[in-house]
Amino acid sequence: MTIARAARDLGISENSLRRWKTELAATPEAFPGKGHRSSEVEEVDRLRRQVKQLEQERDFLRKTAAYFARKPE
């Protein structure tokens, strides 16, 4: 497909499409990893999941401790 046809199909000017193509080629980091996540991002996500799990466990233990700490009626 040519740029002219793609621009026509998208309803934009050919010059805009050419400029965007040139800008994208000049900045290959625009899409780092080509869909693959970096190890740092994966580590942050893993740590966030771990923090969430630990917070849930902490809340459960607080509720359990409060239940057993109350005086029997």
Average pLDDT estimate for 1-15 = 87
Q: What's residue 59's pLDDT?
A: 97
Helix runs in the chain, H state only = 3-10, 14-26, 39-69
Q: Dump pLDDT digits (tens) for 13-57.
A: 999 989 988 888 777 665 666 667 778 888 999 999 999 999 999
Residues 58 and 73 grouped into a single domain = yes
Residues 45 and 63 grouped into a single domain = yes
Residues 42 and 69 grouped into a single domain = yes
Domain that holds residue 73: 38-73
Residues 54 and 30 grouped into a single domain = no
User: CB neighbours (10 Å) of residue 17?
Assistant: 16
Residues 28 and 42 grouped into a single domain = no
How many independent structural domains does the chain possess? 2
Residues 24 and 42 grouped into a single domain = no
Query: Residue 3: which pLDDT band, with cuts at 50, 70 and 90?
Result: confident
What is the reported pTM?
0.48
